[in-house]
Each structure stands twice: as C-alpha cells, then as structure tokens.
C-alpha cells in the first residue's frame, strides 16, 4: 500500500513540474529551486509532515524534502530562543546527503573522463 | 554600399573534409577521414577537434600540392571561447593569421574575406578553415554533456568535424563568382531553444539583398543551401520566400541533410562545420560532374553568449552568402 | 515581410510538442523512483534493522549512488531526454548535476576545473533552500519570542 501511495504522489508532483517546464520559459534550474522553496514553505505551515506520514517515500525522495529538512533543523535552532542557534543547526540534517553526493561525484570525476 | 561584390579572380583549389561516423551516414564517399568518435585519438573533446582540424588542413595542402610556405594568408574560426582552437592551429604556420568569430556563419565569412583579398590581387593562395565539436560547444553554450536535461524538439545538435579550403587565383573548375556580406540583425527574441527560426530572418535578408543586386530569382540557381536552419528554420524561410512570390523547390538546409532520420539529433545539425561539411564534399562533387552549375551557399549564425542571454539581451543573428559557379572547359 | 507576419509563420511551422508522451513518462518515472526509494527504506528498516533516521538516510544515498553511477555510464542523459521531470525532480537530479558538472571540469585540473565547477548547476538549490529556511526560522523565532504560538 505504501508503495502505491509513494508512486502516486511522486508521479503527480513530477507531472506538475513537467507541465511547468512545457508551458513556461522556466529552465530546469528554476523549477528545482522553486520546488525546494515550496517544500520549505509547506514545512513552515506543518503540512509537509502530514504529507510524509501519508505518502512515505513519495515525499522523501523528491527535492522538496531537502527544503523540509532545512527548515526543520533551523526550527530546532529557533526553539532554543538563541538566534545564533538557527545558523548553527540549519545544515545539520541535510549534511549527510550532500556530503555523500559530493564525495561520490568527486571520486567518479577522478576515475572517468566525460563522454557524450 | 559594398554588400554584394562580383568576383573574377577567385577559385576553390582544394578542400579537406574530416568528420565522424554519424555525419558520414549521408556523406561517406566524399569525406577524407571518418573517425569512430568525436575524440579522434585524443583524451578530451578539444584534442579531438584539433586533431580533426590538422588532418583536414593536411589533406587540403596535399591535394593542392602546396606546402605551408606557399600560403599568403590563413583565416579561421570556430565556436571555442576566444577561438583558441583555431589560433593554436595557426601557430603551426608562419603565415599571417586572421581569426574570425561569426558562430556558425564563420566558414562563409572567411571565404568571402579571402575572395576579396584574392580579387585585389594581394595574394595567390589563401587557406580557410573551421571546425566544430559537440563536447566543446555544448559545455560553453548549454550544459555539461552528461547532464540530464530534456532538450526541446526544436533544438539542434553540433556536428563533429573540420573543413579546410584552399582558395587561389589559379583557374580551376569551381569559381567563386559573387559574395554578399550580411548585416547583424536583432532577432527580438531570447529563445535559445529554437535558433533556426531566428536565423531564418538573417538568411531571408541576405538572400533578398543578393537576388536584388544580381537581378536574379531563386529558380535561377540549381541549389540554394543554407547553414544551420534545421527542420524548423528551413520551413520558416521557405514560407517567408513563398509570401514574396519566390519559387522555393531548390532550397535545402545542410543541418537537416546531415542528420536526416537521426532522432537523437533532434531538429538537425548545427555548428561552424555544418554547412562546409555538406557543401565542400557532396555539393562540390556534384558541381564537378556538372549536376549543379550554379549554387548559393548561405551560412547563418546566432551571435549570442550564455551570459548575454541570461542578462536578457536579445539574440543577434547574421547570414553571409557566396555564389559558386562551374567554369566550362575552354 | 513584417515582424508580425514572421511570427505567424514561425508559430505555424513549429512542430507540435509531444505533450502526452512527455507527461506520461514524467508521471511513470517519477513514481518509479519514489517506489525504489520506498523499497530501499523498507529493506534498511526491516532486513538490516537500522534505526528510523538511518534507514531514511540509506534510502537517500542509494538513490544518489544510482544516479551518479548512471551518469558515469552516460545512460542518465538518454533517460532524462525521455523522462523529463521524472528524473530531475527527485534526488537523482541533484546527484546527476553534481557528477556531470565535476566530470566536465576534469580537463582543467583539480582546483580550477573539478572543484570550481561542481556546484555550477546545483548551487542555487542549496543557496535558496538555506535562505528561505533561515527566513521562516526567523519568523518562527520572533513569534516564539513574543509568545505567539499559532502551532506547536
């Protein structure tokens, strides 16, 4: 059942992104950034948590989840009533994924030359 | 005002044409070397481009039975930043070098300028060369080659190849009889995904000026070959000419011909080497066998950069034209 | 030949977009990648017995590894031409942009080539994600400070 819910949610969001790509002049970079901002905004209004509960991996595989994770860790910092904690905490939960992606990209570029 | 110039002293002496398997599908018998991939024998894309260019120039010199020192000028250009590929090849010669940038219209611009120098009897043998490579230009103008982007159906793909032409005042079968220089036109658009339609404006402008100056019509030529207009651009140009009452059956596009039936290449080929690859292999051959006697070559280029489009400046376009005729045996 | 007439001609001669095919493939490929993510998550949770947070990290890095390896083998750009948004929206798109940009910079060396161009495409994702999160966190902080508690 969770598989079906993941499939439907991610498929629908990708369909929406494809519609935006076909009918406007926005490039891929614009659309991805837009969805990260949407993810962070939905997280601010406590909607994204509920989306993850219902749709599981459909919501966590997308780049919108990146915005959600950034906001959640910044919120942990804001809750302590010390403003600097926002800056200290903000990248804590996304550091795993981004570090792994960077390391893997570097290792691959050391091994392989670009091919068309 | 000096746009259209008739010539009497400029002949195509020899050509060297090098490309890869994908371009050779429709041109194979007429290419000097066909490589398996765009890298040729090199490590990076730029090595492949330089190797193909050196091979094309060697073939042109060998066929003309000239050596490096017999050349009076060399003119070259390509799509790399600051045309470094062409300039690095030029350092192998001790001849005066004129580097040109006109994006995909470089080849005809170079031949036109060489023709005027020959007409003024200031030189005897001039080498003109151009090259293009998918990896080099894709990285500069669009995205990295392995990046997963869904390109639109109206985009064109850069051809991989190099062409070198030697022009001289010595009489041969193919003569450059007239040249028309184009003007830079503001296309009023930022659409980098459909450059063919934008360049059709420039091709239309230059062609009309040539026809008016030489008092001819489209049907007086055996073939009118345009450069990088792609499937979309060539149908736009034909429609524009039909509205003006011209007969458009003899107009074709090199970009559409070179990658015909290849779905992966989207709307067709483009690049500075696209028009010369078709013209100086297939078309020259047909002219030597008298199948075509009078041919127009129109090279079109879009003179934008990645930064200028991001800064919301419109794309300027240009088209240069040259007329080739088959000299009868005397 | 006026500019308006030219624009009419361009509109008429431009080929029709393959809209239905693109939308269908975007839907299917986006869904499939999310299903794969769910598969990896359940595998980590139930078979490898990782704790919750690590399982979801495991699912994420499996998708990243898949995308980077497909980029290395040059299959990713052919798949993306077919699938469109289904490949660039999930984390596979992010990993692909990092890997392809750093591969491309190889001819210029380690510092000016690979190091300088690795974030040329994905940089805006990270920048604007951090900016907007900081903005919302500041609002939350101020609301908290003034004792306004709209949501917990």
CB contact under 8 A, C9 and B145: no
- Using one digit for the tens of pLDDT, what is the confidence trace for A39-63? 999 999 999 999 999 988 889 999 9
Which of 29-88 (C) contact A at CB < 8 A?
29-39, 41-42, 56-57, 59-61, 63-65, 68-69, 71-72, 74, 84-86, 88
Report the pLDDT averaged over residues A9-17. 93
pLDDT at A94 over 70: yes
Q: A77 to chain B, minimum CA–CA distance in Å?
A: 36
Neighbouring residues of B284: CB distance < 8 A, sequence distance ≥ 6:
B12, B15, B174
The domain locations on chain B are 4-168, 175-326
How much is the pLDDT for A56? 83
- Domains B4-168 and B175-326 fall in the same CATH topology: yes
Examine the pLDDT at B16 and tell me if it is beyond 60. Answer: yes
Chain C: partners with 3+ C-beta pairs within 8 Å:
A, B
- Whether the per-residue pLDDT at C144 is higher than 90: the answer is no
Q: Using alpha carbons only, what angle is made at residue B211 by residues B207 and B217, rounded to the nearest 5 degrees?
A: 110
Kindly give the pairing relationship between strand B157-158 and strand B269-270. Answer: parallel
User: From the list C41, C106, C137, which residue is nearest A57 (CB)?
Assistant: C41
Helices marked H in chain B? 21-24, 45-64, 84-90, 106-119, 134-141, 195-214, 230-243, 254-258, 274-278, 284-288, 306-310
Window 9-48 of A: residues touching B by CB (8 A cutoff) are 21, 25, 28
> What's the whole-number mean pLDDT along residues B257-269?
87
Nearest one of B135, B99, B93, B128 to B111, comparing CA atoms: B128
B153 interaction partners in chain C (CB closer than 8 Å): 15, 17-18
Cβ–Cβ gap B148/C88 under 8 Å: yes
CA atoms within 13 A on the CB side of B49: 29
| Tokens at B48, concatenated | 């492949």
- Cα B231 from Cα B229, distance rounded (Å): 7
* B14 within 8 A of B63, measured Cβ to Cβ: yes
**pLDDT confidence tier of residue A87, bands split at 50, 70 and 90:** very high
For chain C, first and last CA: distance in Å? 65
How does the average pLDDT of chain A come out, rounded? 92
Give the integer Cα–Cα distance in Å for C8 and C4: 6
**DSSP code, position B264:** G
**Torsion over CA: C136, C137, C138, C141 (sign):** positive
Residues B258 and B282: their CA atoms lie apart, in Å, by: 11
Domain ranges for chain A: 2-111
B52-111 per-position pLDDT tens digit: 999 999 999 999 999 989 999 999 999 999 999 999 999 999 999 999 999 999 999 999
Which of B150, B153, B160, B191 to mutate against chain A (most A CBs within 10 Å)?
B150
Average pLDDT estimate for B160-174 = 92
Summary mean pLDDT of chain C: 91
Per the DSSP assignment, residues forming a β-bridge with B320 are: B299
Q: Which of C137, C139, C141 is most worth mutating to test chain A (most A CB atoms within 10 A of its CB)?
A: C137
Interface of C with A in 101-140 (CB under 8 A): 101-106, 114, 118, 121, 124-126, 128-130, 132-134, 136-140
What number does CATH give the domain B4-168? 3.40.47.40
As a whole number, the mean pLDDT across chain B is: 91
- Closest approach of C48 to chain A, Cα-based (Å): 18
pLDDT (0 to 100) of residue A98? 94
Rounded Cα distance, B13 and B1, in Å: 29
Q: What is the pLDDT of residues B204-230, one digit of tens each?
A: 999 999 999 999 999 899 999 998 998
Confidence of residue B288 (pLDDT cuts 50, 70, 90): confident
Q: Which two tokens stand for residue B212?
A: 């008016």
Please indicate if any CB of chain B lies within 8 Å of the CB of A113.
yes
> Average pLDDT, stretch B3-26?
87
Euclidean distance between CA atoms B168 and B175, whole angstroms: 10
Task: Identify which of B115, B134, B121, B130 has the alpha carbon closest to the alpha carbon of residue B174.
Answer: B115
Do residue A15 and residue C30 have CB atoms under 8 angstroms apart? yes
Strands B316-326 and B185-186, bridge-based pairing: antiparallel
Nearest to B84 by CA among C104, A116, C109, C107: C107
Q: What is the mean pLDDT of residues C66-93?
A: 92
- Tell me, yes or no, if B282 comes closer than 8 A to chain C by beta carbon: no
| Residue B50: CA count within 13 A, CB half-sphere | 17
Coil, strand, or helix at residue C46? Answer: helix
B:C CB pairs within 8 Å: 86
Task: Render chain A in DSSP notation, one character per residue.
Answer: -HHHHHHHHHHHHHHHHHHHHHHSS--HHHHHHHHHHHHHHHHHTTHHHHHHHHHTHHHHSBTHHHHHHHHHHHHHHHHTT-THHHHHHTTTTTHHHHHHHHHHHHHHHHH-----
Please tell me the pTM assigned to this model.
0.91
Mean pLDDT of B302-326: 94
pLDDT of B28 above 80: no
Q: CA B298, CA A68: separation in Å to the nearest integer?
A: 54
Closest CA to C80 of C124, C25, C21, C39: C25
Chain C residue with the nearest C-alpha to that of A88: C134
Task: Choose the closest CB to B153 out of C18, C93, C104.
Answer: C18
- Contacting residues of A for C66, CB less than 8 Å apart: none
pLDDT of the residue at C95: 94
CA of A99 vs chain B CAs: smallest distance (Å): 20
* C-alpha pair distances (Å), B86 with each of B78, B99, B158, B277: 7, 7, 17, 17
Residue B205 burial (10 A CB sphere; 0-12, 13-18, 19+): middle
Q: How far is A91 from chain B (nearest CA, A)?
A: 26
**In chain B, which among 187-206 make CB contacts under 8 A with chain C?**
188, 194, 197, 201, 204
Predicted pLDDT at B49: 93
Contacts of C84 in chain A (CB under 8 A): 18, 21
Distance CA B103, CA C81 (A): 26
Total length of chain B = 330
Going by their DSSP bridges, the two strands B251-253 and B269-270 should be labelled as unpaired
Give dist(CA C126, CA A32) in Å, integer. 11
Are C64 and A97 in contact (CB < 8 Å)?
yes
Tokens standing for residue B287:
């002219």
DSSP secondary structure, B32-101, as one string:
SEEESSTTTT-SSHHHHHHHHHHHHHHHHHHHHT--GGG-SEEEEEESSGGGHHHHHHHTTS-SEEEE--
DSSP structure class, residue B227: S
- The interface pTM score, or ipTM, of the predicted complex is 0.93
Mean predicted confidence (pLDDT) in B35-62:
92
Kindly state whether B146 is in contact with chain A, defined as any CB-CB distance less than 8 angstroms: yes
Distance of residue B4 Cα from the nearest chain A Cα, in angstroms:
39
What distance in Å separates the CA atoms of residue B244 and residue B224, rounded to the nearest whole number?
17
The residue among A46, A72, A33 whose CA lies nearest residue C133 is A72
Q: Do A116 and B38 touch (CB under 8 A)?
A: yes
Q: B175-326 adopts what CATH topology?
A: Peroxisomal Thiolase; Chain A, domain 1 (3.40.47)
Q: Identify the pLDDT of residue B1.
A: 52
Residue A78 token pair: 């804001």
Rounded to a whole number of angstroms, the distance from the CA of C10 to the nearest CA of chain A is: 17
pLDDT band, very low/low/confident/very high, at B330 (cuts 50, 70, 90): low
Q: Which of B43, B135, B190 sits opposite A116 (nearest CB)?
A: B135
| pLDDT at position B122 | 86
pLDDT exceeds cutoff 60 at C104: yes
pLDDT score of A100 more than 80: yes
**Residues of chain A neighbouring C52 (CB-CB closer than 8 A):** none
> Does residue C58 carry a pLDDT above 80?
yes
């Amino acid at each position: 059942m969770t598989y079906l819910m993941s499939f439907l949610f991610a498929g629908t969001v990708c369909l929406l992104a494809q519609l935006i790509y076909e009918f406007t002049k926005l490039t891929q970079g614009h659309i991805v950034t837009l969805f990260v901002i949407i993810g962070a905004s939905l997280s601010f209004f406590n909607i994204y948590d509920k989306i993850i509960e219902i749709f599981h991996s459909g919501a966590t595989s997308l780049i919108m989840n990146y915005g959600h994770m950034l906001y959640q860790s910044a919120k942990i910092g804001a809750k302590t009533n010390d403003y600097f904690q926002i800056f200290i905490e903000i990248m804590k939960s996304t550091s795993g994924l981004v570090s792994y992606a960077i390391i893997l990209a570097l290792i691959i570029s050391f091994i392989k030359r670009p091919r068309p | 005002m000096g746009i259209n110039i008739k010539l009497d002293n400029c002949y195509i002496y020899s050509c060297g044409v090098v490309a890869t398997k994908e371009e050779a599908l429709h041109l194979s018998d007429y290419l000097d070397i066909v490589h398996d991939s765009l890298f040729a024998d090199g490590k990076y894309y730029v090595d492949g481009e330089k190797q193909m260019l050196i091979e094309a120039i060697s073939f042109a010199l060998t066929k003309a039975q000239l050596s490096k020192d017999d050349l009076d000028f060399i003119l070259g250009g390509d799509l790399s930043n600051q045309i470094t590929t062409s300039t690095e090849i030029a350092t192998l010669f001790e001849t005066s070098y004129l580097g040109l940038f006109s994006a995909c219209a470089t080849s005809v611009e170079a031949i036109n300028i060489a023709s005027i120098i020959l007409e003024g009897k200031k030189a005897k043998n001039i080498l003109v060369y151009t090259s293009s490579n998918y990896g080099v230009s894709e990285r500069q103008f669009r995205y990295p080659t392995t990046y997963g982007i869904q390109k639109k159906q109206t985009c064109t793909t850069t051809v991989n190849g190099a062409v070198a032409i030697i022009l001289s005042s010595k009489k041969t079968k193919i003569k450059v009889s007239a040249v028309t220089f184009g003007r830079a036109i503001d296309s009023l658009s930022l659409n980098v995904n459909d450059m063919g339609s934008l360049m059709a404006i420039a091709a239309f402008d230059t062609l009309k000026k040539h026809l008016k100056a030489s008092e001819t019509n489209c049907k007086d030529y055996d073939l009118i070959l345009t450069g990088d207009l792609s499937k979309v651009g060539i149908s736009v140009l034909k429609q524009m000419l039909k509205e003006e009452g011209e007969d458009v059956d003899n107009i074709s596009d090199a970009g559409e011909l070179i990658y015909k039936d290849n779905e992966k290449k989207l709307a067709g080929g483009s690049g500075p080497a696209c028009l010369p690859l078709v013209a100086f292999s297939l078309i020259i051959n047909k002219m030597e066998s008298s199948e075509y006697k009078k041919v127009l070559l129109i090279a079109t280029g879009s003179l934008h950069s990645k930064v200028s489009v991001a800064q919301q400046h419109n794309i300027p376009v240009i088209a240069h034209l040259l007329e080739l005729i088959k000299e009868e045996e005397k | 030949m006026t500019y308006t007439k030219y624009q009419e001609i361009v509109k008429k001669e431009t080929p029709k977009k393959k809209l239905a095919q693109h939308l269908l493939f975007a839907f299917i490929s986006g869904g499939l990648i999310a299903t794969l993510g769910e598969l990896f998550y359940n595998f980590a949770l139930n078979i490898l017995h990782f704790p919750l947070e690590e399982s979801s990290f495991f699912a994420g890095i499996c998708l990243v590894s898949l995308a980077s390896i497909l980029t290395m083998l040059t299959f990713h750009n052919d798949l993306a031409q077919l699938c469109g948004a289904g490949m660039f929206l999930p984390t596979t798109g992010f990993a692909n942009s990092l890997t392809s940009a750093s591969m491309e910079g190889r001819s210029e060396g380690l510092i000016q080539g690979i190091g300088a161009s690795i974030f040329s495409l994905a940089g805006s994702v990270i920048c604007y994600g951090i900016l907007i999160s900081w903005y919302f966190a500041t609002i939350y902080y101020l609301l908290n400070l003034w004792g306004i508690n709209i949501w917990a």
